[in-house]
Structure 1
Amino acid sequence: MKKSLLCSLLALSALSACADMPTLELGVGMYRIKAEVAHTNAARMTGLMHRTEMPSDAGMLFVFTRAAKHCMWMRNTLIPLSVAFIDDKGHIINIADMQPQTETSHCAESPARYALETNIGWFAARKLQAGTRIAGIERAPAPE
């Protein structure tokens, strides 16, 4: 199979996996973010891969099947992102900035149940840091 055809098929599968994702409005203090919810294995594996842009008030919430020191990387992800690792109660554990198309692991400093990816700098611009609570996370669909 030619490389360009394979890349096209991968991009289409990524888009179809995201097309069925539920969305959830999350609150962080006075700020709101509309997050796509990656609660299935396929959605978590695809994440924000192959996208060329994301609205400034949007993100993706990853819901994991159990709390653990999960790690994220940016393989096939074209936009720079920040990720907040979040505990069972909705509090930010730590935040990391991630550069596009890299395979550097960015990991939770303690067991995380969720990860919220936003455009890079979203948390810093709002002076949000470890300990901040993300409201609405409890309405996320159960992980599959």
Structure 2
Amino acid sequence: MVRPRLLLALLILVFSAGVSSANDRLQVATDSGTYDYTVELALTNGERAVGLMHREWMAPDAGMLFRFDDVRPVSMWMRNTLIPLDMIFIRPDGTVATIHRNAEPLSEKIINSKEPVRFVLELNAGDVDRMGLKPGDEIRHPIIQGQ
């Protein structure tokens, strides 16, 4: 007989195993170089709704890549998000459309993409400036290139 706690631990292990895969490496290409990140993917409505909420810390080379079902203007907010983030709005071809720097934690202020996009990359606040990222630079990841 399997004990409830053991079963719960096994279920957590099985479902969390999918978080780190071969597809979680992402590259940001700027004039100053190429920067590697490990990203979690937010592909479903539920995953996109939760995003990075309730986290107190994120590794310096980590982020979250959101993929939307279609190309459209996107609105984000920082409700229940505890860490400041840079938001990078990305066109279907992987080029950066617009950037929102240092989004305020816990804010319900709407942050708009300003043009139709397919992806949003959230990184720790300050990463955009550190890399010199600007509109037109390229974000590379299998779900972007392989849409």
Compute the displacement of 1:138 (Å): 3.4
Q: Which residue does the alignment assign to 1:133?
A: 138
Q: 1:125 to 1:76 in 2, by over 3 A?
A: same
Who is 1:111 aligned against? 116
Aligned partner of 1:27 in structure 2 is: 27
From the superposition, tell whether residues 141 and 64 of structure 1 become closer, same or farther in structure 2 (CA, over 3 Å).
farther
Give the conservation status (yes or no) of the 8 Å contact 1:82–1:118. Answer: yes
| Counterpart in the other structure of 2:129 | 124
User: 2:25 & 2:50 partners in 1: Cα distance?
Assistant: 21
TM-score norm. by structure 1 comes to 0.80
Q: Contact 2:93/2:144 (CA < 8 Å) preserved in 1?
A: no
Q: What does the per-residue CA deviation read over 1:66-113, in whole Å, with 9 as the maximum and x for residues that have no partner?
A: 111101100000000010000000000011021100001111121010
Runs of 4+ in structure 1 displaced over 3 angstroms? 18-23, 137-142
8 A Cα contact 1:90 1:137, kept in partner: no
Q: 1:73 — aligned with what?
A: 77
**What RMSD, in angstroms, separates the aligned Cα atoms of the two structures?**
2.1
What is the aligned length? 126
- What secondary structure does 1:134 align onto? strand
User: In the alignment, what sits opposite 2:10?
Assistant: none
Whole-Å Cα distance in 2 between the matches of residues 22 and 37 of structure 1?
10
Structure whose CA Rg is larger: 2
Report % sequence identity: 37
Normalised TM-score (structure 2): 0.79
Aligned to 1:100: 105
Residue of structure 2 in register with 1:42 after alignment: 46
Task: From the superposition, tell whether residues 141 and 133 of structure 1 become closer, same or farther in structure 2 (CA, over 3 Å).
Answer: closer
Q: Which runs of 5+ in 2 are unaligned?
A: 1-14
Check the 8 A contact 2:77/2:109 in 1, yes or no: yes
- The CA deviation at 1:141 is 8.6
Read off the aligned partner of 2:140 and give its amino acid letter.
Answer: A
The answer as to whether partners of 2:96 and 2:137 remain within 8 angstroms in 1 is: yes
State the distance in 2 between where 1:77 and 1:50 align: 5
